[in-house]
Amino acid sequence: MAVKQVTVFMANKEGRIEKVTEVLKENAVNISSLSLAESVDFGLLRLIVSDPEKAIACLKSAGLSAKLSTVIAVRISNAPGSLHDLLTALKEFNIEYMYVLSTQDTASMIMKIRDVEAAEKLLTEEGFEVLKPEEVYR
């Protein structure tokens, strides 16, 4: 089942990430994973949080530009070659970006892929564990 990711668009200047984390803290929204990409003028902060819908509402209320995206979370073993095996299974898909959701003995890859349902079906058939939203958000 696909996972919801929060993406915050912000100016590339001091204090912007702190503002996002302040809003989430004040509203008891926990961050499980994040990725920050920047350019000269703006940044994209991608977050996996405990309550994506609440996070979006709170961030927008605080005047921040945020949206929900659908991503896939796939558990892989913490062993050499695991990421390669995952990427080999997805070789027919364009992975727009990815980042790690780390746990104790495993890592979970967060990936943005256009055809989420087809990719999830393929990964399940290939023996990968596609995480449910409730597993990712906690």
What residue segments make up the domains of the chain, in order of their start? 3-69, 72-137
pTM: 0.80
Assign a CATH topology to domain 72-137.
Answer: VC0802-like (3.30.2130)
Residues contacting 77, CB < 8 A, separation 6+: 105, 106
Assign a CATH topology to domain 3-69.
Answer: VC0802-like (3.30.2130)
Give the Cα-Cα-Cα angle 106, 123, 8 (nearest 5 degrees). Answer: 70
pLDDT at 111: 82
pLDDT at 85: 97
pLDDT tens figures, 11-47: 887 778 889 999 999 999 999 889 988 777 888 999 9
Alpha-carbon dihedral sign for residues 32, 56, 24, 35: positive
Token readout for 34 is: 């994040």
Question: Scanning the structure block, which residue is given the tokens 């943005």?
Answer: 112
